[in-house]
Structures are given as C-alpha cells and as structure tokens.
Amino acid sequence: MEADRLRSELDQVTAELEGARLEYASLGAKIAGLEARRAALSRAVPGTVEHGIFGSADLPAKYRTEDIVEVLTAVGTDMTIKQVIAALHESGRAAETYDNVGADLAYLAEEGRIARVRRGVYAPLRQPQADPERIAVTLTQGNLNNNHIYLSGHLDFCPEDAIGAANKQGKLGRPLTLHFEGLPGTADTDIAPDKKIFRLRDWHWHEFFKQHDLHAGDQVAIERISAYEYRVVPLPRAA
C-alpha cells in the first residue's frame, strides 16, 4: 500500500513538473519575442536608446537568440541544449542557463529559424552547398576567441584519412596543407574528430582573423586546391 501511495505521489509530481516546464518555456519564448519586438521598435524611433528592465542600457550587444542561431549555423549539425550552452559559454556568454537557452531554442524552432530534431536536440536550417570545391563557414565568437573554425557538416569535404584521433596522443590523420590568404607560408594540420575542427590552433588563425578584421557572423571559405591542400579566404560581408 505504501509503495502504491508513493508511486501515485511520484506520478503527480512528475505531471506538475512537466506542466511547470512547459509554462516556463512558453514564458521564455514570450519574453524573447517581446525583446525582439522592442528592439525593432527602438531602432525605428529616432533618438531612442534601448534600456533594460531597470532603466539602464543593460542589454547585451546581441540578443541571445541571435547568438544561438549563429552557433547552430556555424557548427552545422545537430546539437543538444547542453552543447549549445557550452558553445555560448565559449563565445563569452558565461551566464547562460539550461532553462533560458532551452526556452529560446523552443521559440526559434516555433518561428522556423532552426529545426527541432527531437526533444532537446536542435539543428540549423540546411542550405545546399553551391560549389563542390569550396565550403563556407560562419564564424562564432568562440572561433575567434579560441583560434579555430567548425567543420561540422563539412567533414566529407576533406579526405577521410585526414581525420585523426581525438587527442594528440593518438594517431594523427594525414596532414592537410592550409594557405591562409594574406599570411606568408603554409600550415599543416589534420582534423580533430571530437571537436570537428582543424587541429591547428596557433597564431595562423589569430593573425588571419585580425588581418581581415573578421567578426562573429562573418564567413570564411575553405577552397580545395588539391585533395590535401586548401586555401583559407575571407568572404565579403553581405551588403
């Protein structure tokens, strides 16, 4: 009898918790929508300064929803909520929480700006690759901070044997030679399969980003010269 009572109480609490989570997600989506609407109206009214809820200009330079879309687009593959949060933390948004990001992801999926793969897993909207000899990668702040670019969704652009072990202690992949536009010489690297990036994370990327004044949201192209040789070039910003 005691077990039945506890099981009944557990079912009730579980149902209430699920309802509370749905209510929270709905509220978060509503807040995100109102923030976006306020931002649009503020931009439309001359001389208007966007203020936070306490009367100061305490809103971030970009809305969290924009950064989430940017992260998903750059990674180019399915991501769990925790993976999105980790990418946001890497890009400098260290205070983001599971509940806030989860609500924003639900809102973005409902608005058709991203795709919901299954519960707790989201993906960018797929765009066809126009040129088989070139891929375009959108930069995130995390890329700029940590000297790399994401190759997720593009691993088949490079030879399979260029993908090495997850860490340097394991077997490295066959080297790829990279030519960075504007920098002297070349750099050799393989691909790290866990992070889906070129393993090379040294001054080449830092200087490349700096020389071409690249920011989060800008795009970089990887152009195939030969099977194991590639050119890295910045793409013009959209007008």
Whole-number pLDDT of residue 154: 85
pLDDT band at 87 (very low <50, low <70, confident <90, very high): confident
Task: Evaluate whether residue 129 is within a structural domain.
Answer: no
Mean of all residue pLDDT scores within the chain = 81
pTM: 0.54
Task: State whether 40 and 150 are in the same domain.
Answer: no
Strand-pair partners of 136: 221
Task: Evaluate whether residue 239 is within a structural domain.
Answer: no
With a cut of 50, say whether residue 58 has pLDDT above it: no
CA distance 78 to 84: 10
Whole-number pLDDT of residue 54: 33
Task: Evaluate whether residue 86 is within a structural domain.
Answer: yes
> At CB < 8 A and 24+ separation, what contacts does 83-88 make?
84/122, 87/140, 87/142, 88/64
CA distance 92 to 69: 15
Domain span holding position 140: 134-234
Q: How far apart, in Å, are the Cα atoms of 39 and each of 17, 34, 52, 90, 195?
A: 33, 8, 11, 25, 34
Whole-number pLDDT of residue 37: 62
Task: State whether 113 and 7 are in the same domain.
Answer: yes
Are 199 and 191 a contacting pair, CB within 8 Å?
yes
Comparing CA positions, the residue from 137, 144, 35, 126 lying closest to residue 87 is 144
Alpha-helical segments (H) within 45-80: 64-75
Task: Evaluate whether residue 53 is within a structural domain.
Answer: no
Q: What is the CATH number of the domain that holds 218?
A: 2.40.330.10
With a cut of 70, say whether residue 24 has pLDDT above it: no
Whole-number pLDDT of residue 77: 77
Most confident of 72-76, 172-176, 198-202: 172-176
- Give the total number of structural domains in the chain: 2
Q: What is the mean pLDDT of residues 92-111?
A: 90
Question: pLDDT > 90: what percent of the chain?
Answer: 38
Task: State whether 9 and 103 are in the same domain.
Answer: yes
Whole-number pLDDT of residue 53: 35
Q: Helix 98-110 vs helix 81-90: angle between axes, to the nearest 10 degrees?
A: 110
Q: What is the CATH number of the domain that holds 79?
A: 1.10.10
Kindly give the pairing relationship between strand 229-234 and strand 176-180. parallel
pLDDT band at 116 (very low <50, low <70, confident <90, very high): confident
> Residue 111: what residue type?
E
